[in-house]
Chains A and B, each alone.
Chain A
């Protein structure tokens, strides 16, 4: 009876719910409360607009490296549960370049678990690149994957209720509710009882094009820019081109000059987009969209807070642009915290 409530139905909330089931929690004891569900669109609902794939976007602090590794290695479990790659989770080769060579910790970590990992020889680097690797990634058809994940959880008995929370304690919907998982992402900035002023959006814009001839990912991380090409699985040949990392930019508007800049950068990074395009140099743009990555100064916040007598909130937000690739590891940590027993042996 709603012993566990997950607030927020983005990728973080869904990963958290999946992990609760993984830990053996009875799905009937779980309720997900959210303003937006998969299928909805809103600038306040970041998850559908993500790239998305597993990338080297993340920092090299130990926790984040762990979250990445955990997610990467355990996604196959989710894929299997959802019936295979057709759920919108498939694997393609990724080539990633850095203008500034990443730290040893980051490199060592990636090398230790990425499949089909290899370092690209410097002779092949684009001009200005200091380091490049190739590996087998995970690709998400984000809106579709979210929906399938929700359906899976629902079929297993998890309840989903559409709610707008103005204060986190409103999520204690039943006298039996003991733990709330706060997976509200950007919402934690202004949600009563949380009011995390460290939360801020990092705006991105992407251009979705038709590209049946591209079946891989290419990325380049610059000092103040990110250029990426991400194949969207089971999407009728959609390819995601991006992007931008605009801190503290709250606008949902999209801009023509940004679109042009994205196409310019991505086709320069990966000329095959145009060279092998069945339509010649006419690239069919299906959609242009902006999303607000739920970032946080100090990184993700995963901690347990006492808010009332036998009432706890486990915060799990701030995943910025790596919710899909690190979120399952974050869920592991959040659920671990939630389930720790008070008593110490």
Chain B
């Protein structure tokens, strides 16, 4: 077993070396830690012959929920889509580390790209009225009974669209989005929480980077 883990360590190290050159924000040791965390999340392979290639949607969602406090059902799927760059319904190790690089340490530019990608659920390069509606539709929970929540959402969508749609084409392109966010950072997560808050980040980094390094 120890032989096995020694070999494992070697493999992980060389893997980490390669990945750390490709992914921003993490050094080699940190990547190692993230690989170990990934392996741990993956659990032992279900059948010895076929090792799992990555995290499936369900386990990924539970991770988001547990570690990063992202709870919106719809958005969790979109976050999964954003992580799963090759669309194979599995978040591979590399995708995991790439995703976390934005999640934990992303610059504003990276985060803007990521958030836009999440909100643009049909991937056509625009956030449309309908997409906004989708993200906001359950947004009003305590309206007085004589007020129609759908109307309120519709109104808010219009207000927001008017604000973000700089080129007046009735939808929000990435350029529109970028410009709006640069003017007012609060628009970054305009349509729902899809990034972890600073507390979750701190807790995650503390646990994964520092505690694992002690071992």
- Chain B associates with chain A: no
